[in-house]
């Protein structure tokens, strides 16, 4: 009889904990902390360098598909100070970035640019045959580099000096935001979040009715934060729906490929044509 009472108590506590957690998720909101703008020109993506506690910001500085050699990477401090706007130049329209060791991989329309962060210069440029609009990029623990091509509706893979089309996504529209979570390639497409098994390329739908997806990240609760380039950031709870965290469409401000630091509960949003990076605290 006593064991039954104890078990019931445990169940009640678990249920209460679940309710508190769900309420916290429903109450999640963004609170603006700082804005960086000096020297930024059409910033598209932000990536956090944890080792040096700073950000790299890709700046298109023109049109997203124009090969004008105007693009550059800026270096921004953790508190929003623009340390060096044109830190590395020589790109066309740089977008997604991922840092592996001291090498920063950057997508640039139809090529992959590799920057040596120690030497502060481009070390290699790889043309991607057939690519049209390379967008976001992520790296698996095994070192495989995945890249979305939003126009070609595909994912490319770069490994050991070779880059080729890895997966056709012609059944989906505008694949963009990309992350590697729990052994799967997670990609945001128009209207859905997908999880792809690297070995079998089997596709699972994590969430639907998301709207357009540019940036994507997952928080400690296993829910997703997504940005819609048109000016919306949303919180996606696969089990219970979607909550809008930010809507700046009326101000004609974009919300592009953001960075999320889980340990700090912070989101850093590049505003594209508004030429800023805005930092928000994610509060539960």
Model confidence pLDDT, tens digit, residues 46-72: 999 999 999 999 999 999 999 999 999
Q: Is the pLDDT of residue 16 over 90?
A: no
Residue 26, helix vs strand vs coil: helix
Using CA atoms, how far apart are residues 12 and 15, in angstroms rounded to an integer?
5
Q: Is the CA virtual torsion 70, 71, 76, 80 positive or negative?
A: positive
Check whether 207 has a pLDDT greater than 50: yes
Is the pLDDT reported for residue 19 higher than 70?
no
User: pTM for the whole thing?
Assistant: 0.91
**Considering the chain, what is the average pLDDT of its residues?**
92
pLDDT digits 0-9 by tens, 35-49: 999 999 999 999 999
Over the stretch 108-123, which tens digit does the pLDDT of each residue have? 999 999 999 999 999 9
Look at residues 245, 260, 248, 253 and name the one whose alpha carbon lies nearest to residue 275. 253
**CA 269-176-212 angle, 5° bins:** 75
**pLDDT score of 25:** 64
Distances (CA, A) of 42 to 154, 170, 254, 264, 266: 25, 29, 10, 26, 22
What would the 3-class secondary structure string for the chain be? CHHHHHHHHHHHHHHHHHHHHHHHHHCCEEEEEEEECCCCCCEEEEEEECCCCEEEEEECCCCCCCCCCCEEEEEEECCCCEEEEEEEEEECCCCCEEEECCEEEEECECEEEEEECCCCEEEEEEECCCCCCEEEEEECCCCCEEEEECCCCEEEEEECCEEEEEEECCCCCCCCCEEEECCEEEEEECCEEEEECCCCCCEEEEEECCCCCCCEEECCCCCEEEEECCCEEEEEECCCEEEEEEECHHHCCCCCECEEEHHHCEEEEECHHHCCEEEEEEEC
**Domain layout of the chain by residue ranges:** 30-283
Tell me which architecture the domain covering 30-283 has in CATH. Answer: 6 Propeller (2.120)
């Amino acid at each position: 009889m006593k064991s039954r009472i104890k078990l019931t108590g445990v169940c009640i506590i678990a249920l209460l904990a679940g309710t508190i957690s769900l309420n916290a998720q429903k109450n999640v909101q963004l609170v603006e902390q700082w804005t960086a703008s000096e020297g930024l020109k059409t910033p598209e993506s932000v990536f956090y360098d944890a080792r040096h506690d700073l950000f790299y910001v890709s700046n298109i500085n023109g049109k997203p598909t124009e090969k004008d050699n105007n693009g550059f990477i800026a270096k921004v401090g953790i508190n929003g100070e623009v340390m060096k706007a044109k830190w590395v130049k020589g790109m066309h329209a740089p977008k997604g970035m991922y840092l592996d060791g001291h090498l920063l991989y950057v997508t640039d329309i139809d090529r992959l640019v590799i920057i040596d962060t120690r030497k502060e210069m481009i070390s290699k440029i790889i043309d991607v045959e057939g690519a049209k609009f390379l967008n976001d990029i992520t790296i698996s623990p095994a070192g495989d580099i995945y890249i979305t091509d939003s126009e070609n509706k595909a994912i490319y893979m770069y490994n050991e000096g070779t880059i080729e089309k890895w997966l056709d996504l012609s059944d989906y529209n505008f694949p963009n935001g990309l992350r590697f979570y729990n052994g799967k390639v997670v990609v945001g497409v128009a209207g859905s979040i997908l999880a792809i098994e690297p070995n079998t390329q089997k596709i699972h739908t994590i969430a639907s009715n998301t709207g357009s997806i540019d940036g994507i990240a997952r928080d400690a609760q296993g829910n997703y934060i997504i940005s819609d380039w048109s000016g919306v950031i949303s919180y996606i709870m696969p089990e219970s729906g979607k909550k809008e965290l930010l809507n700046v469409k009326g101000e004609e401000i974009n919300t592009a490929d953001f960075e999320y630091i889980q340990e700090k509960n912070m989101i850093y949003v590049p505003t594209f044509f508004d030429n800023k990076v805005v930092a928000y605290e994610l509060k539960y």
